[in-house]
Copies of this chain bind each other. A is one copy, B any other.
């Protein structure tokens, strides 16, 4: 007569995933229960594990299982440089471009007032505190060259204007509207080299 409550719960729970509506949540639940018990068990476990163990690095705000992540603990990085990126994937792209040896701050987003994402949601209070550690001399803004990424760079630039740090923006070597994650390493490296003070 009726769907088991636990199945209804599962379908409803799957809707917390971005882009998943009622129909695809149902399809996912059926698939997991019907054809992929192993995958479902793995998902349940890795989700529970990640929730328990993954936190934000106290220094760079990136995902980590430690209090301060490996990169922030490294003594081989240039502590006078702090690069601000939107997402962890952007940090990975920067690392892969082998053009930068400083530290990072990951905003975990970009300013987007229409989506309710303001300065607090991208942790600018923590960035401000991070900047004032007495070591940082230059902030390299490496947010995307999208409308929101540019607005975020502008906002952060204004915010840091009064602080005793140089604020630079990676060069607009990226195509307008482009995202770091999709650009080749060479272009990204060039953009870092051509960064300019703002």
In the complex, which residues of chain B have a beta carbon less than 8 angstroms from the beta carbon of A12? 46
Q: Interface size class for chain A?
A: 35 or more
Contact bitstring A66-79, B, C-beta under 8 A = 1, else 0: 00001100100000
Contact for A16 among B39, B70, B95, CB less than 8 A: B39
Q: What's the number of copies of this chain in the assembled complex?
A: 2
Instruction: Decide yes or no whether A164 CB sits under 8 A from chain B.
Output: no
In the complex, which residues of chain B have a beta carbon less than 8 angstroms from the beta carbon of A2? 70
Instruction: Decide yes or no whether A176 CB sits under 8 A from chain B.
Output: no
In the complex, which residues of chain B have a beta carbon less than 8 angstroms from the beta carbon of A65? 4-6
Q: Smallest Cβ distance from A111 to chain B, in angstroms? A: 15
| Interchain residue pairs A-B with the least CB separation, the first 10 | A16-B39, A44-B47, A13-B43, A13-B46, A9-B46, A44-B48, A10-B50, A10-B46, A4-B65, A18-B31
Taking Cβ atoms with an 8 Å cutoff, the residues of A that contact B are: 1-7, 9-10, 12-14, 16-19, 24, 26-34, 36-37, 39-51, 53-54, 63-65, 70-71, 74, 87-89, 92, 95, 108-109
